[in-house]
């Protein structure tokens, strides 16, 4: 009996129940640490990235490295309202972007373009996040031409951030403005500023929504090739340089590629046109965070007086 007790005490750790409890404790500790990390991330998120950024939308833009300040397609309602002024048809679009293939970072929304005799109006709606953290943007835009080669646009935004539990939500008003100038048949210059009024997100820490300046040039080598270059500067961060190219392969197919700096991100995409519908697909590769992808669908109600054949981005 004494020997049996000694053996039991010697191999006490190897008892199946003890092993199970030991492994359960390790797993609990690991899960607890991971849960603490995730909770800390979302707890710190309101103070670090508290309020809505002007995330680029539309897969055409994404495929061209988001060098979109000189483009004048329906998605200009978001990128540069001056480009909205050249739209002749009623248009609408929807998009969804999977950021880094993280379900809780889905970016989705839609746009609408309404041309009138006094100018072109647009609606811009987007939302990032999920039930526990969400950033939303609601914009009303207006653009008009001044002569054949110059246009300007403005937009009024309502930016809202919602955080679950007891944090609640907050909304602020911000403004945007943009310009485009066609220096020749092939060369277009563009400029845009987001949050021109420098709206604050939180008064307790002088938290401001990003104010972002963008300027660039677009050159059409022919009816088939467009090259865009753009620089973007957030007041609080280093500038970003973007390059983008679009190649019109055949009447209904477009190929796109682009890149952006700080950090170095590669972009590529395709566009398919079928009658009044257009579908664009794009992807990007971040060196640290990985891949993102976006799909956008748009429809244009072509008027009788409009040309049946039109170029993408015209």
Lowest mean pLDDT segment, chosen from 136-140, 167-171, 194-198: 167-171
My answer on whether omega of the bond before 3 falls inside 30° of 0, hence cis, is no
Residue 148 in any domain: the answer is yes
Q: Is the dihedral of CA 286, 98, 57, 156 positive or negative?
A: negative
Q: For residue 156, give the 3-state DSSP assignment.
A: strand
| Rounded CA separation 75/113 (Å) | 9
Where are the extended beta strands (E) located within the chain? 90-98, 106-116, 119-130, 133-145, 150-163, 168-182, 187-194, 200-202, 207-208, 212-220, 225-234, 240-250, 253-260, 265-274, 277-286, 290-301
Domain match, 144 and 28 both: no
In this structure, the strands spanning 240-250 and 119-130 are: unpaired
**Pair (37, 56) in one structural domain:** no
Beta bridge partners of 229: 217, 243
Cβ(284)–Cβ(257) under 8 Å? Answer: no
CATH of residue 199: 2.40.160.60
Q: How far apart are CA 154 and CA 250, in angstroms?
A: 35
pLDDT at 24: 40
Question: Distance between CA atoms of 17 and 62, rounded to whole angstroms?
Answer: 56
Same domain for 77 and 225, yes or no, is yes
Residue 309 lies in a domain: no
- Are residues 79 and 126 part of one domain? yes
User: In this predicted structure, what is the pLDDT of residue 36?
Assistant: 39
Which pLDDT tens digit goes with each residue over 197-247? 988 776 656 677 899 999 999 999 998 999 999 999 998 889 999 999 999
Find the domain containing 7 and state its range. 2-41
Give every CB contact of residue 306 below 8 A, 6+ residues apart in sequence: 88, 89
For residues 133 and 173, membership in a common domain is answered with yes
Q: Is residue 73 part of a domain?
A: yes
Q: Quick one: average pLDDT of 44-62?
A: 70
pLDDT tens-place string over residues 7-29: 444 434 445 444 444 444 433 44
Identify whether residues 75 and 128 lie together within a single domain: yes
Residues 19 and 92 in one domain: no
Number of domains composing the chain: 2
Nearest to 177 by CA among 13, 4, 54: 54
pTM of the complete model: 0.78
Only one residue has tokens 């707890």, namely 43
Residues making up the chain, counted from first to last: 314
Residues 201 and 76 in one domain: yes
């Amino acid at each position: 009996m004494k020997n049996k007790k000694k053996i039991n005490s010697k191999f006490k750790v190897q008892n199946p129940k003890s092993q199970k409890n030991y492994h359960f404790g390790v797993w609990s500790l690991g899960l607890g640490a991971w849960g603490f990390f995730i909770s800390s991330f979302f707890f710190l998120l309101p103070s670090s990235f508290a309020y809505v950024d002007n995330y680029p939308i539309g897969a055409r833009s994404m495929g061209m490295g988001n060098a979109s300040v000189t483009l004048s397609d329906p998605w200009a309602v978001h990128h540069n309202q001056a480009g909205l002024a050249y739209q002749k048809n009623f248009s609408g679009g929807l998009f969804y972007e999977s950021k880094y293939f993280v379900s809780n970072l889905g970016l989705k929304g839609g746009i609408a373009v309404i041309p009138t005799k006094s100018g072109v109006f647009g609606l811009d709606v987007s939302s990032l996040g999920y039930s526990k953290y969400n950033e939303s943007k609601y914009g009303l835009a207006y653009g008009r031409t001044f002569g054949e080669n110059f246009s300007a646009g403005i937009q009024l935004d309502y930016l809202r951030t919602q955080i679950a539990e007891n944090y609640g939500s907050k909304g602020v008003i911000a403004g945007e403005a943009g310009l485009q100038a066609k220096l020749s048949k092939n060369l277009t210059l563009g400029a845009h500023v987001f949050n021109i009024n420098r709206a604050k997100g939180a008064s307790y820490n002088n938290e401001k929504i990003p104010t972002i300046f963008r300027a660039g040039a677009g050159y059409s080598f022919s009816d088939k090739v467009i090259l865009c270059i753009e620089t973007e500067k957030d007041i609080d961060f280093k500038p970003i340089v973007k390059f983008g190219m679009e190649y019109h392969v055949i009447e209904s197919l477009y190929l796109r590629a682009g890149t952006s700096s700080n950090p170095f991100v590669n972009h590529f995409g395709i566009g398919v046109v079928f009658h009044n519908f257009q579908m664009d697909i794009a992807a990007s590769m971040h060196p640290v965070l990985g891949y993102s992808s976006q799909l956008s669908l748009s429809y244009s109600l072509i008027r009788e007086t409009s040309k049946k054949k039109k170029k993408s981005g015209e």
